[in-house]
A and B are shown apart, each in its own frame.
Chain A
């Protein structure tokens, strides 16, 4: 389940490929994704769950909501984060890694298929398609 949509095998494969590409292009992202995974697991554990992977959709929503409500750091917090590595990671996950993953999703075929599209940016085809109405939102 992602952005309220049940993922198909094709969706999972495409997102895996894209994540693998980002790590091959920017190796440091691999470590960031692991840190984010651990951060999500910890938030689930704090709510009494086992892990993010095993959490129910409702538990996941609660965790994501908590993560996304982290406010931008104040000047004092930025200075603190500069010294304390875990705080730096905490903010980087929220304000760099999560937005990058949201961007990756938004530009993937997964997001467009969920809207009923059969083609999207980067997939060539008939240029006259835009002159005809498309398919409705599923």
Chain B
């Protein structure tokens, strides 16, 4: 229950960024009010959640509230496909770390200097070297299992846990990689390869997006640290709706409403908005805060995955088996030609299931059984995670017509690709097709390019920039023009790179926590 007093820190959003900030603040003895629009899922319910998903084909995380979470999407007018926002996020205590796989990477040093090194995008106002100590701390806070490879960015501290080894299937790529001079290595995971931080080692439920064992990191771990301190008040199903900013640039309060309709006012010395790229931008827009240069909501980014696969009748793989497809490659990360395209990371998969998507194959019964016998485990897949450039026309705005259950304008999202994005996706597809040819795959798939699948990584919208005309927050993540309002999470990313964003979210949050500590002490 949020009390009628002044907290040291008010955080909006109990996902990865909010949880780390709350834990770090309470460890230093500060009081925290933490507002979360979604519910709390009980850990003990996960086996039942998994069974429900496996039998009823429903969502793994039943978090959706249509009245609260409605949105408008006009992406089809820009990129030809719609964006299923609510399939690519979770509102709840833990946020999107509830449903992630746990694949976790640092951005590359060049990602922080994209404009000056690659001639695309913008440079961050901070460098990889400045963020590196926070990446290392984040590895240990979240619990990352990894094995260092020279293709990875340099690091000052080893991974807290040894990495997961390659799968039996992954080894098919080793001679190909050797012949082509490509570096491949097992990806780091935020999954325990041994008992860590009071949580068990992985016991291979092979259901990472729910993880009944708790071996895969979820931000609930840091929420628990904050709550155990007795200094953190967590209000669930409480939607922040307005930031009350005074004329001096100081925030006086955050106004929220519980789903029950009860109003909540939170007063604090410092406020952090950590509500993911769409909702953080929406809250600033609803509050008319931080948007003096019309930057709030712009540069919405995602990672487009380009998929290719092929049939290898003479090989036998073991898809869907307990364990991981762990192999990835950064050998094609940057183009040889400056300004040509964005980053490309390769991921190696084997997961096509002939029993999936019966509708398109239109076979069933004994014919399907025969098809499964011939095809199952003989499919090899590749994915290219591609960088999307910051683009002011790719954005979140407030919808002029539709309202949520509180009467506020719903978010209106519109993804838009640049010419460089199209080139990145096209080259990603070509790289994958060439590799599949090298391995001898037949019937190489040719899905249309452009948003064939997404990473569920929302970035941008409140980007970090030294110049207030070019961004929403400064290099400390403080909203330009304000004295005590900050934004945390991937919404502050100036560029997206082509690597999963969670570790960068965590590193930036830990860096922000240290900055706030100086203010609060």
Contacts and interface: CB of A to CB of B under 8 A. Distances in A.
Interface string A95-138: 00001101111111001100101011111111111111110110
A65 interface: yes
Contacts of B193: 127
B353 A106 contact: yes
Nearest to B167: A130
Nearest to A117: B321
A131 B316 CA distance: 14
B193 to A, nearest CB: 8
Interface in B34-82: 47, 50-57
Given A107-B55, A127-B201, A137-B377, A3 B368 contact: yes
B65 to A, nearest CB: 19
Interface string A5-47: 1000000000000100110011000000000000000000000
A127 B324 CA distance: 9
Contacts of B54: 18, 103-104, 107-108, 121-122
Nearest to A102: B358
A111 B50 contact: no
Contact of B365 (A65, A104, A119, A130): A65
Interface residues of B, number: 48
A77 interface: no
Contact of A102 (B50, B202, B355, B362): B355
A119 B322 CA distance: 7
A120 to B, nearest CB: 7
Dominant SS among interface residues on chain B: loop
A30 B393 CA distance: 49
A79 interface: no
Nearest to B57: A103
Contacts, number: 137
A14 to B, nearest CB: 11
A137 B319 CA distance: 12
B204 A126 contact: yes
B360 to A, nearest CB: 12
B406 interface: no
B168 A130 contact: yes
Given A104-B54, A121-B207, A130 B368 contact: no
A129 B322 contact: yes
For this complex, into which size category does the number of interface residues on chain A fall?
A: 35 or more
Contacts of B204: 119, 124-127, 129-130
Contact of B207 (A25, A117, A122): A122
Contact of B320 (A60, A61, A121, A132): A121
Interface in B186-207: 193, 201-207
A130 B377 CA distance: 14
A122 B206 contact: yes
B376 interface: yes
A64 interface: yes
Contact of B55 (A21, A111, A121, A133): A21
Given A104-B54, A111-B355, A131 B166 contact: yes
A11 B318 CA distance: 22
B4 to A, nearest CB: 41
A131 B57 contact: no
Interface of A: 3-5, 18, 21-22, 25-26, 57, 60-61, 64-65, 68, 99-100, 102-108, 111-112, 115, 117, 119-134, 136-137
Q: Ordered nearest first, which 10 A-B pairs have the shortest CB separation?
A: A130-B323, A4-B369, A107-B54, A127-B204, A124-B203, A103-B57, A4-B366, A134-B318, A61-B365, A106-B355
25 contacts: A4-B367, A4-B369, A4-B370, A5-B369, A26-B56, A57-B366, A60-B365, A61-B366, A65-B364, A104-B54, A105-B355, A106-B353, A106-B355, A106-B356, A115-B377, A120-B321, A121-B320, A124-B204, A124-B213, A128-B165, A128-B323, A129-B204, A133-B318, A134-B318, A136-B316
Given A25-B52, A130-B323, 5 more contacts: A22-B55, A99-B359, A117-B321, A121-B205, A122-B51
